[in-house]
A and B are shown apart, each in its own frame.
Chain A
Amino acid sequence: MAFIKYFPAQPKIDFLSKRKLFLAFSAFLLIGSLVSLAVQGLNFGVDFRGGILIEVRTNGPADLPDLRSRLNNLDIGGVTLQEFGAPTDVLINVQRQEGAEAEQLAVIELVKAELGDVVAEYRRTEFVGPKVGDELRQAGILATVLALTAIGLYIWFRFEWQFAVAALIALVHDVVATIGFFSVLQIEFNLATLAAVLTIAGYSINDTVVVFDRVREMLRRFKKMAITDLLNLALNLTLSRTLLTSVTTLLALIALYVFGGEVIRGFTSGLIWGVLIGTYSSIALAVPLLYYTGVRRDNLAASDASEEEAVEDAS
């Protein structure tokens, strides 16, 4: 039954020799993400830009061009319409209006009055005033910076600086590539997708920590092995775990993506991409980076010999 028996416990893949290829690919991802962010930016949702979002279900298949022209006649600035999961479901995005909250709310009433005859159900109405939009944006930036800093501090505390630097570069790589994913595909970036990005930060560092733990152990155990061989060994020993965990997580996420409903599809797609990137980066970026930051045994031996003993004693 257990097919894991057929998966070699210690595959012999030489990851380190391809490190330049990986670096080039990561650089490509990063540059691509940054260029896309600079050129087309993020498709901010109503949470961050302020404005109005209304999801309606129409009586019968929606006539988008007709709806569009009717809403444009209201003279409420940019209105975008899109089909949302079903031909009868339409997502209406109304630009942030000039003026304060009251002006925005008036527009909701205006739109609802205009569409009264074709709409069977208002499935969702989200309105974020200018004030709250600004606050949410600031809180979002703060949360991201704090999360990255806190995770960074933890890594720094748990590992030597060579590991910490490599882990942080990999972490930033994953976060930028995930945000880039939203930019390239222009998937709406809202509070939920920000949550996805932070979750990915946690997941990716999780993966990296597992491999780094093993590298550290190998460094202690094989005092004379060449560093590239040692990093390769650590990667190969943890490979089955890295892949299995990614597969189970992806299985759950794909179920969520396909059947979890339209509302969280953007969020889930970010998580799926993030898991893929996080898995890739802990194998192909974080560990090869260790080669460049120059992990050495001497500073490990001193500080960690005692730790090893402590673990043995505790048992």
Chain B
Amino acid sequence: MVQISRWQLVLVGLVLVLGIAFALPNLVGKQTAESLPDWLPHKQVSLGLDLRGGSSLLLEVDVDSVFTEQLENIVESIRLDLRQARIGYTDLGLEGDEVVFTIRDPSQVQRARELLAPQLQDTLFSLSDEGVGRIVLTDQARASRRNSVMQQTAEIVRRRIDETGTREASIQRQGEDRVLVQVPGIEDPERIKTLLGKTAKLNFRLVNTDVPANAPRIPPGSELLPSDDQDLSGLPRSYVVRKRVMVSGDNLVDAQATFQDGAPVVSFRFDSVGAQRFAQVTRENVDRPFAIVLDDRVISAPNIQEPILGGSGIITGSFTVEEVQDLALLLRAGALPAPLVILEERSVGPGLGEDSIRAGEFAAILGMILVVVFMAAAYGLFGLMANVALITNLVLILGALSVLQATLTLPGIAGIVLTIGMAVDANVLIFERIREETRNGRGPVTSIDAGYKRALTTIIDSNLTTLIAALLLFQFGTGPIKGFAVTLAIGLVTSMFTAIMVTRVMVILWLRRRRPVRLPI
């Protein structure tokens, strides 16, 4: 036992060198760290949003609305098909997530089957001989649709945030239908929230001028939409708009905020398909109002003065400069496939983040000094060895955090401070045991030997229990708490290593050199 095997020395040496190498980049500035040559470790500890400031938003994608929309489209196409084929039907509509309808005349059931079946891929379609039809989306179709909606959402969210000039945003899918957006260093979280809160589905539709907005019944194929316009008496105005989309925002290639006659407007440009369609519609509907609809609200409904053939135009409305800028941004980034709901927000301003880092650093260093002084005072030489192990431990934690790119949060710093206090426990256990063995009349070598051996199981036992708690915290915690669990777990592992291995190497080297007759504790 008092001989230490070569591989143990090599292991301790190796871990120390690696730990120091990986921890070092944290001591220099960020730029210096990044400019280090590739063969040197250059990763720094990544700070959590609570320390560097920024916003974390948990979003839920309303995927169900996409399914509903898909089913509603099926309803519309069935209506059209059956009508064209002159097959009588009743009760066509949505029931939950099922499209239902009834064919009036059972003799036409076979015809209806042949007509509808080819278009209803990705669905379970049944039409009984009595004429009762049911259509649901297959699980497969739902799953693949959900996937594509989620991917698209992440992409659009990324584009919208990139458009604001923030480049470091992290966007991760979480679970079935959630997206976690983390934007470091953002000054105004409200702006991001506003940008993400809008679906930004833009389309151009004709206004149904046959019915007034206050008509008791809106004809099928049209709908009543609110607007930002005011009527003559200053009340918010509504429009009866045809449901058919003439040109959609999907065909936009560019949108910019600009001014026209001193008023802020958005200018836009269509791709070739959009331009063609836009030209055709405007040519055929001169002098009719054309509604620009954004997220089921009419922005404005100007009269078409002349055909617009160039594929570009402007959107006017009662906008502020800021609104125009946001709208242009949203149109450039594209529409979300489904509305987003913000489930959770955690934003930390840059000031608080800096204060937290400063306070955390100071507390960690002070805690460290207190423990180091106490240990040196309590155990003398052995205390100094424990202190070397403690500092090594801190270096290893820093190195491990950098390598693993684990996020350091404020509770994470607390975890480190806590491990500073608890790390010496293993050494205290060993030293107390050595003291006891010495008191029982054993010589230095056997005391040290017995001290390490007897304390070992206890150390492992006691650290494992805390490790259990840390792992569960990691599993169930979110954000900062995960950070706490990570540093606590890393700290436990590194402290076991330093307390058992590092101090033992020191103690044994000291024993060999000095060959003491009595131990100084």
Contact = CB atoms under 8 A, between A and B. Distances in A.
Contacts of B374: 247-248, 251
Interface of B: prevailing SS: helix
A1 B380 contact: yes
A101 interface: yes
Contact of B410 (A105, A247, A251, A261): A261
Interface residues of A, number: 82
B363 A260 contact: yes
Interface stretch (A66-74, A177-185, A263-271): A263-271
A195 B484 contact: yes
Chain A CB count within 10 A is highest, among B368, B383, B424, for B424
Interface residues of B, number: 86
A209 B420 contact: no
The residue in A100, A126, A139, A252 that gathers the most chain B C-beta atoms within 10 A of its C-beta is: A252
A255 B360 contact: no
Interface string B342-386: 111111110110011001101110111011001111111111000
A151 B468 contact: yes
Given A252-B420, A255-B366, A10 B439 contact: yes
A253 interface: yes
Interface string B440-457: 000000000000011001
Contacts of B380: 1-2, 4
Given A131-B343, A143-B472, A158-B461, A260 B417 contact: yes
Given A125-B189, A147-B469, A245-B425, A311 B453 contact: yes
B516 interface: no
A267 B435 contact: no
Interface string B143-154: 000000000000
Contact of A268 (B368, B414, B462): B414
Interface string B459-500: 001111111111011011110110011001000000000000
Contacts of A128: 344
Contact of A154 (B360, B376, B468): B468
B351 A250 contact: no
Nearest to B419: A252
A145 B167 CA distance: 41
B478 A2 contact: no
A20 interface: no
A101 B466 contact: no
A158 to B, nearest CB: 6
Interface stretch (A31-39, A224-232, A236-244, A287-295): A236-244
Given A142-B476, A264-B411, A124 B465 contact: no
Interface string B228-250: 00000000000000000000000
B429 A210 contact: yes
Interface in B324-354: 341-349, 351-352
B458 interface: yes
Interface string B58-92: 10100000000000000000000000000000000
Contacts of B50: 263
Interface string B162-202: 00000000000000000000000000011001000100000
Given A1-B377, A201-B469, 8 more contacts: A2-B380, A102-B341, A123-B348, A140-B476, A151-B468, A151-B469, A249-B421, A249-B422
The 5 A-B residue pairs with the shortest CB-CB distance in the complex, in nearest-first order: A2-B380, A249-B421, A202-B466, A252-B421, A261-B359
